[in-house]
Copies of this chain bind each other. A is one copy, B any other.
Amino acid sequence: MPLWTIYHTPDLFTDDDKHQLAARVADHYENVGLPRFYVVTLFRETRPEDFYVGGEPAAAAVRITIDHIARRNPDQESRRRSARWIKGMLQDQLGQREGLHWEFHVDETSEDLWMINGIVPPPGGSDAEKNWAKQNSASPY
């Protein structure tokens, strides 16, 4: 948690761009208290013949699916704030490209159905979670 899966057409990102984007995403979650290693970002290059927007092969498109597990928004305003927060991570790198379709959505799933290295992650905000954040790794607690 969170898991970002980024489908993109070829030639949009260099390996450096990907690294920078993944690091920026991890920064944002770390800044709100999550252990940095919770953040997994996958890039899936997809050629236009396999990537359709509105039924047509996409020349340039980015479609991001995000799974949020450890934290869940309690109400609509909080969800909308989350969406703006995520937009803020992407705007600089994606917002300036002419003709690009870029889109994300978030799914929220149960933290009870989640394990890292076979361990149930500690409750959000707990001392054990702060310790995981400091160590930046999972350990028995």
Alpha-carbon gap, A53 to B30, bound state (A): 12
Contact of A53 among B39, B49, B87, B91 (CB under 8 A): B39
Main secondary structure of the interface of A (DSSP, over half): mixed
**A1 lies within 8 A of B105 (CB):** yes
Q: Is the CB of A115 within 8 A of B42?
A: no
Q: A114 in the interface, Cβ–Cβ < 8 Å? A: yes
Task: Select from chain B the residue with minimum beta-carbon distance to A34.
Answer: B54
Interface residues of A, count at CB 8 A:
71
Answer yes or no: A118 CB below 8 A from chain B CBs.
yes
Residue of B nearest to A4 (CB): B52
A131: interface (CB < 8 Å): no
Are A110 and B112 in touch, CB under 8 angstroms? no
A125 within 8 A of B: no
Of the candidates A26, A80, A112, the one having the most CB atoms from chain B within 10 angstroms of its own CB is: A112
Question: What 0/1 readout, one digit per residue, does chain A (126-141) give for beta carbons within 8 Å of chain B?
Answer: 0000000000100000
Q: Which 10 A-B pairs have the closest CB atoms?
A: A26-B55, A22-B52, A79-B112, A23-B55, A106-B113, A36-B54, A37-B54, A43-B50, A105-B114, A41-B52
Can you offer 6 A-B residue contacts whose CB atoms are under 8 A? A3-B63, A18-B50, A40-B53, A44-B50, A83-B115, A90-B118
